[in-house]
Structure 1
Amino acid sequence: MTFWKRLRFYMIGASLGLCIVLVFFGPKAVQCSYFPNSRALEEAKIYPITFSESAAATVDADKIDSVFLFNEILKKSKITNFGTEEVRATPCRVYRAEYREAKSYDLVYEICKKKTVITELKKVN
């Protein structure tokens, strides 16, 4: 058997195997972030988010849309209160975060059972 014939059989088998693997396992959104800051922010995005009245007023005043909130504020913020009792509180853990990019915001949110409550969202100048 010539080299080209073997290469052709190999490519056919490899492409069929790849198709079968993609069908069974499919594309998945996998995240491998085990740092505490990323885990706390990602956990906030898992549950439905509700706003307090003051946070809702800030969202309306600054015209913050949900895409900016999810992809920017709840992704690139830095949690500032690790190691405090607020993080270990029951039934709701309280996290304080700072977002310092083009716009600056301070965020306080609580992760309760099956929901996230943004209690405070302030624009910092």
Structure 2
Amino acid sequence: MKLINRIGYYLGGFSIGLIILAFFLNGKKVSCDYGPEARVLKNINSKELIYDEAVLQAFKNIQLDTFGARQVLRYGELTINSESRKKPCGFYKIEGLISEQLVQFTIENCDSIATVKQVEFK
């Protein structure tokens, strides 16, 4: 069999496989969270989220809601530091934009809940 025929069969089978996968995986909640930052963000977002009173008061002072905070916690940039592996709860810092303002959250990530301990507006 000639090389061009082999390449043709390979590309034909490969494209059919991609189309089948597109139909099977269409609409599924499939994620590829392999990096350490992505896994931590997914872990924090899968838990019950509690806000400290100081954080809620800071939101009230500048008239923001917790929906923006939830978006930052889902898509923000995570900083892993030396307190991340503390037992029983690790501390993480997550930065992101809420209404075009840079915000940094300090999160206490425990086994069953995640608590927003501090918020800084930059």
Q: Answer whether TM exceeds 0.5 for this pair.
A: yes
Q: RMSD between aligned alpha carbons?
A: 2.4
SS in 2 for 1:38: helix
SS in 2 for 1:87: helix
Output the amino acid matched with 2:84.
V
Q: Is it true that 1:67 corresponds to 2:60 in the alignment?
A: no
Q: Is it true that 1:91 corresponds to 2:109 in the alignment?
A: no
5 Å-filtered alignment, 1:19-98, equals: 27-71=27-71, 73-82=72-81, 84=82, 86-98=83-95
CA distance in 2, matches of 1:41, 1:61: 27
CA distance in 2, matches of 1:33, 1:66: 24
SS in 2 for 1:28: coil
CA distance in 2, matches of 1:106, 1:118: 10
CA distance in 2, matches of 1:34, 1:63: 36
Give 1:43 shift: 1.2
**What are the ranges of 5 or more consecutive residues in structure 1 without an aligned counterpart?**
1-17
Moved over 6 A (4+): none
- Do 1:45 and 1:74's aligned partners in 2 also have CA atoms closer than 8 Å? yes
* Residues 88-110 of structure 1: CA deviation (Å, up to 9, x unaligned): 11111100122257210111001
- Do 1:38 and 1:75's aligned partners in 2 also have CA atoms closer than 8 Å? no
Count matched residues: 100
CA distance in 2, matches of 1:110, 1:54: 15
Output the amino acid matched with 1:98.
E
Q: 1:56 to 1:66 in 2, by over 3 A?
A: closer
Output the amino acid matched with 1:80.
T
SS in 1 for 2:64: coil
CA distance in 1, matches of 2:41, 2:58: 20
- Do 2:106 and 2:118's aligned partners in 1 also have CA atoms closer than 8 Å? yes
Output the amino acid matched with 2:77.
K
Q: 1:26 to 1:76 in 2, by over 3 A?
A: closer
Give 1:26 shift: 8.5
